[in-house]
Each structure stands twice: as C-alpha cells, then as structure tokens.
Amino acid sequence: MTDSGKAKELGGKAKEALGAVRGDEEQKAEGRQDQSEGKARQAGEKVKDALGDLKDAVKRS
C-alpha cells in the first residue's frame, strides 16, 4: 500500500475542493470516491490492528 487511508482521504478532500472551485463535477466525484476509499482503508487497518491485539491476548493467556 503506497499511501495510508488518511492520506487518501485528505487527498480526496483536496481533489473535491479543487473540483468545486473549478466547477468540475467529475473531479468533485473523484474526490468523494477517494475519501470513501481512504475511510475504508482506515477501517481495514483498525480491524487488522484489533485482530493482532486479540491474537496477542490469546497467546498471553
């Protein structure tokens, strides 16, 4: 993964804002899509972290 979920989300916000300034609906939509992908990556990272914590807890018990 080349960039984190947060970076993808922030990039999407910037792209959406630029699209709004330019009046470019397609760019705005791409920005919203990037934001959604970023949020999904962040959720996946949280699940992965939680599973790792659970695995560690099971090993310790």
Q: How confident is the model at residue 1 (pLDDT cuts 50, 70, 90)?
A: very low
In whole angstroms, what is the distance from residue 38 CA to residue 52 CA? 21
In whole angstroms, what is the distance from residue 44 CA to residue 31 CA? 20
Q: What pLDDT score was predicted for residue 39?
A: 97
In whole angstroms, what is the distance from residue 6 CA to residue 11 CA? 8
In whole angstroms, what is the distance from residue 28 CA to residue 56 CA? 42
Please say if the pLDDT value at position 2 is more than 90: no
Mean pLDDT within 26-46: 97
**More confident position, 1 or 60:** 60
